[in-house]
Amino acid sequence: MRINQRKRESNLALGSPLMNQNDIRNTLDTESIRLSKSLGQNLLHDQNVLQRIAKAADLQKDDNVLEIGPGLGSLTEHLLQKVNELTVIEKDKRLASHLGEKFKNTTNFKLIHNDALKYFENIEVDWGPWKMVSNLPYNVASPLLVDLAAMPKGPQRLVITVQWEVGQRLNAKPSTSEYSKLTLLVGCRYQVKNIFKISPRCFFPEPRVDSACLTLDRRTKPLFEHQLHKPFTTVVKRAFSQRRKMMRKNLKGGWPEDQLDAAMTAANLDLKIRAEKVTMDQFVTLTKELHDR
């Protein structure tokens, strides 16, 4: 059900200034919250960047949006103004408590206090019509994206902030050092549409590396049926298990050599090729050949 726009804006009470770096520092001090390096907690505070992230999602009034790791709610404030419903998942009990209090009168806000990795693993939810907009905690970004891509129908659009290195891997091409199993396990379901760099100065505390904001759209035509996702994942992980070895050597423990050689030949792959040179389409063909033989 669409929530009345006037009621939403009134409840949110965004007449007050949006949260800046000083507000973040003061809130953390006042509430005795220490950010955790182990949880990858770097809070984005630059308002220009936050607006740019929200704009990249192309949010509509009837959109339902998911945010993971909202922290103190700097990005949350921007999203709530534009959408029908915003569901946030926050693992940290202290931050979840802060968010619950901060947005307690906001009718289009839903808080889930949970580990996102466990939540997606244990609860079957159809996120297909949703969008996800998140400054992802650095320590869970890669496995979380792999899990989202493994869903039968994950969110239609992802606008995510990750470490620059992770962003480069997500956007990598074959025969480059960045091309990896992450490229393939996310790229089999999502295509990168846009990427821009974010300076460490835009975060508190400042990370030691640049970050990237990427927009990824779910493929309109799946590369393979969902039943082939697990076999595809197995092939990709085995192929990259020892990057400098020939892919055939990495794969031969999983299939009889004659079956493997026939499948590689059918996929137009040299038997001496390394995984980093194999395209997405070739990995898909190889998976189908190995699965069908």
CATH of the domain at 85: 3.40.50.150
* Whether residues 97 and 212 fall in one domain: yes
Q: How many domains does the chain have?
A: 2
Instruction: Please say whether the beta carbons of 200 and 211 come within 8 A.
Output: yes
* Whether residues 168 and 239 fall in one domain: no
Tens of pLDDT, residue by residue over 8-58, are 443 444 444 588 899 999 999 999 999 988 888 999 999 999 999 999 999
Provide the pLDDT for residue 293: 63
Ramachandran sector of residue 117 (left: φ over 0; alpha: ψ -120 to 50; beta: rest)? alpha
Provide the pLDDT for residue 2: 46
Residue from 264, 256, 255 nearest 285 by CA: 264
* Whether residues 169 and 255 fall in one domain: no
Average pLDDT rounded to a whole number, residues 261-274: 97
What band does 6 get if pLDDT is binned at 50, 70 and 90? Answer: very low
Domain-terminating residue out of 173, 196, 218: 218
* Helix/strand/coil for 52: helix
Cα distance between residue 159 and residue 108, in whole Å = 20
Instruction: Please say whether the beta carbons of 291 and 267 come within 8 A.
Output: no
* Whether residues 236 and 198 fall in one domain: no
* Whether residues 52 and 194 fall in one domain: yes
Provide the pLDDT for residue 148: 95
* Whether residues 276 and 158 fall in one domain: no
Distances in whole angstroms, Cα of residue 149 to Cα of each of 118, 142, 144: 15, 11, 9
* Whether residues 213 and 232 fall in one domain: no
Domain-terminating residue out of 170, 195, 218: 218
* Whether residues 61 and 187 fall in one domain: yes
Residue from 143, 149, 106 nearest 127 by CA: 149
Whichever domain contains 245, its CATH number is 1.10.8.100
Domain-terminating residue out of 188, 218, 248: 218
Average pLDDT rounded to a whole number, residues 169-181: 98
Cis status of the peptide bond prior to 143, with omega within 30 of 0: no
Tens of pLDDT, residue by residue over 115-160, are 999 998 876 788 999 999 999 999 999 999 999 999 988 999 999 9
Instruction: Please say whether the beta carbons of 8 and 86 come within 8 A.
Output: no
* Helix/strand/coil for 145: helix
Provide the pLDDT for residue 123: 63
Distances in whole angstroms, Cα of residue 28 to Cα of each of 22, 38, 41, 207, 254: 10, 17, 12, 17, 51
The model's pTM:
0.91
Structural domain boundaries, residue 87: 5-218
* Whether residues 48 and 179 fall in one domain: yes
Cα distance between residue 19 and residue 287, in whole Å = 48
Residue from 190, 241, 198 nearest 217 by CA: 190
* Whether residues 144 and 281 fall in one domain: no
More confident residue, 293 or 162: 162
The percentage of the chain sitting over the pLDDT mark of 90, rounded to a whole number, equals 86
Average pLDDT rounded to a whole number, residues 163-172: 98
Cα distance between residue 264 and residue 283, in whole Å = 9
For β-strands 109-113 and 131-135, DSSP reports them as unpaired
Tens of pLDDT, residue by residue over 187-233, are 999 999 999 999 999 999 999 999 999 999 999 999 999 999 999 99
Residue 259 has pLDDT above 60, yes or no: yes
